[in-house]
Structure 1
Amino acid sequence: MTELDVRDVEVAHAEFYAAFESADLDRMGAVWADGTYADEVVCVHPGWPLIRGRGAVLRSWALIMANTPYIQFVLTDTQIRISGDQAVVSCAENIITAAEETEIGLTSGGSVVTTNVFVRTETGWRLWLHHGSPVLGREEEVAE
């Protein structure tokens, strides 16, 4: 694991969230692995069943983006581990999202713990697996 690898994974990870926040499906498509990895792509959105295959995963993002007027992520507790041509990024997503039915229009969207696995391809690091799980209780309550 080199500093350059870590930086490149950080950039790929940040691009995933930037694509989501900007609701840019083309940009999101560029983040995900393709070619020989396309059939192996996996995504688990919080509360959703497992989705396999690049096409199905990108369709799920299109659906989410079409139904999300605004979303912003504040990532915390980010850790990157690289082993060979795979990188695992774990983090907490602290989400701010729009809620049309509220008076001010914005509301906290809660927290999701996430694991993102990237694979090194000929074109750089590409997302291979995204798994998000909602955090239902505060950490202090879970530890007790």
Structure 2
Amino acid sequence: MSRAVDGADLEEAHAEFYAAFEEGDLDRMAAVWADGAYADGVSCVHPGWPMLRGRDEVLRSWALIMANTAYIQFVLTDVESDVYGDHAVVTCKENVLTADEGTEAGFLAGGSIVATNVFVRSDGAWRLLLHHGSPILNGAEAGEE
């Protein structure tokens, strides 16, 4: 497989992770994550959460998040990817908009998260092995103090 094809397939897998989250579709989310021999090594750090390890634990966390998220949208910027054989690293800035349908005003909030997503090629497809998201605090961008 050429690097160009790898790159397009990787971009598609990365986009599917965020689309599954935005749609609140747990089946789609489960399809994004690695399984089989990689299931025990699947890891996730949601912003402010401790490390979650193991496919089942990670998918339980997504079920909980999706059940409690009325609306979420991501605008990804600063996306960079590197392919190392059957592993790939994608870093990006997640610019997040979220709303709470439970309030009269439909509260809308926003924030930014820096994310690292590590993929493994398994059975010819890129599958997510690790997602780590860390919030960017106000004034913390570009070394601002």
Give the TM-score taking structure 2 as reference length. 0.93
Question: Quick one: distance in 2 between partners of 1:9 and 1:71?
Answer: 23
Distance 1:36 1:97, change over 3 A: same
Q: CA deviation at 1:43?
A: 0.2
Question: Quick one: distance in 2 between partners of 1:47 and 1:102?
Answer: 27
Distance 1:79 1:30, change over 3 A: same
- 1:47 is aligned to 48
Q: Deviations over 1:77-109 (max 9, x none)?
A: 000101111000000000010133361x15232
- Counting only pairs closer than 5 Å after superposition, residues 1-144 of structure 1 correspond to structure 2 as 2-99=3-100, 100-101=102-103, 103=105, 105-138=106-139, 139-140=141-142, 142-143=143-144
- The letter for the 1-side match of 2:12 is V
What is the RMSD computed on CA atoms of the aligned residues? 1.4
Question: Quick one: distance in 2 between partners of 1:6 and 1:108?
Answer: 33
Distance 1:106 1:73, change over 3 A: farther
Question: Quick one: distance in 2 between partners of 1:93 and 1:85?
Answer: 25
Superposed structure 1 runs of 4+ greater than 2 Å apart = 99-102
Contact 1:96–1:106 (CA under 8 A) maintained in structure 2: no
Question: Quick one: distance in 2 between partners of 1:4 and 1:91?
Answer: 20
Contact 1:85–1:120 (CA under 8 A) maintained in structure 2: yes
Gaps of 5+ in 2: none
Percent identical pairs in the alignment equals 64
Q: Deviations over 1:10-29 (max 9, x none)?
A: 00000000000000000000
Contact 1:25–1:62 (CA under 8 A) maintained in structure 2: yes
Aligned with 2:29: secondary structure?
A: helix
Gaps of 5+ in 1: none
